């Protein structure tokens, strides 16, 4: 349990009326560990308004062009702060493998850099020009809409918003095998789950999906169905049941 909940949460759990967890593993562990009322609410919710934007093909082409991308390029995206937990180093290693056989696969890394250029230095040393460090961006929905695949190499998660957003946009997803990610990705159905040290496996899955438009389309359709459980309106209803009504059904 020490690896799942921080000390402050373990201490406070004994003096709270209700403990809300955002992934199923935390829920199961807290349910067995604490005598308090434990509820499961799947995340903070995705607001469809943020992503219900239309982009013409020309707008997509122009945005790609501004990033040095062509319409024919296969684009992956991982919107996340650059830090050790998000584990972007794994993706740099993956891109080194991919670049040996594919020159049309690119990786977008929008997010604040909390490691003082560590990842950029490694990419430069490996001469990887297909990794685009974008820094902080306020156009993540648009960047997702010009991408073909979402990836996540996190070591730990609660219930990752970036994956839920990718699901809503309809992107297939390749993610590492950690709590939170496992709640959202059904292996082979809407994406793939791999171990955090399996660079070759991740590279192979990327290469497979780059070729198989049919598999990407199937996963996109499945994501459009699965994301309904994580929309903001449904989450707010659940939270209202806990705080105001008290008749929330697990």
Same domain, 100 and 191: yes
Question: To the nearest whole percent, how much of the chain has pLDDT over 90?
Answer: 70
Same domain, 27 and 143: no
109 within 8 A of 88, measured Cβ to Cβ: yes
Same domain, 114 and 217: yes
Same domain, 53 and 39: no
Is 77 or 32 the better-scoring residue by pLDDT?
Answer: 77
Q: What is the pTM (predicted TM-score) of this model?
A: 0.84
Domain membership flag for residue 34: yes
Q: Please, what is the average pLDDT of the chain? A: 88
Same domain, 181 and 72: yes
Same domain, 110 and 68: yes
Give the Cβ contact number of residue 246 at 10 Å. 10
Domain membership flag for residue 173: yes
Closest CA to 177 of 162, 197, 161: 197
Q: Which domain holds residue 36?
A: 7-45+230-245
Same domain, 20 and 53: no
Is 12 or 151 the better-scoring residue by pLDDT?
Answer: 151
pLDDT for 85-105, tens place per residue? 999 999 999 999 999 999 999
Q: Taking residues 112-118, report their average pLDDT.
A: 97
- What residues contact 90, with CB distance under 8 A and at least 6 apart? 153, 176, 196, 197, 199, 202
Same domain, 116 and 158: yes
pLDDT for 154-201, tens place per residue? 999 989 999 999 999 999 999 999 988 999 999 999 999 999 999 999
Domain membership flag for residue 1: no
């Amino acid at each position: 349990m020490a690896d799942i909940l921080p000390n402050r949460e373990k201490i406070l759990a004994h003096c709270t009326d209700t403990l809300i967890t955002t992934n199923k593993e935390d829920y199961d562990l807290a349910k067995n560990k604490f005598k308090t009322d434990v509820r499961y609410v799947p995340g903070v919710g995705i607001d469809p308004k943020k992503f219900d934007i239309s982009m013409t093909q020309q707008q997509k082409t122009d945005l790609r062009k501004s990033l040095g991308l062509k319409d024919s390029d296969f684009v992956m995206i991982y919107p996340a702060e650059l830090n050790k937990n998000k584990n972007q180093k794994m993706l740099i290693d993956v891109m080194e493998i991919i670049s040996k056989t594919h020159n049309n696969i690119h990786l977008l890394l929008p997010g604040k850099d909390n490691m003082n250029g560590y990842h950029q230095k490694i990419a430069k040393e490996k001469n990887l020009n297909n990794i685009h460090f974008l820094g902080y961006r306020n156009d993540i929905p648009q960047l997702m809409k010009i991408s073909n695949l979402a990836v996540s190499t996190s070591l730990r998660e609660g219930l990752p918003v970036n994956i839920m957003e990718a699901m809503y946009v309809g992107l297939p997803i390749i993610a590492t095998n950690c709590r939170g990610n496992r709640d959202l990705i059904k292996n082979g159905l809407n994406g793939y789950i791999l171990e955090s040290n399996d660079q070759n496996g991740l590279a192979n899955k990327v290469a497979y999906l780059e070729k198989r438009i049919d598999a990407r389309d199937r996963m996109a359709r499945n994501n459009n169905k699965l994301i309904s459980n994580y929309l903001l309106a449904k989450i707010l209803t659940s939270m209202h049941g806990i705080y105001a009504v008290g008749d929330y059904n697990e």
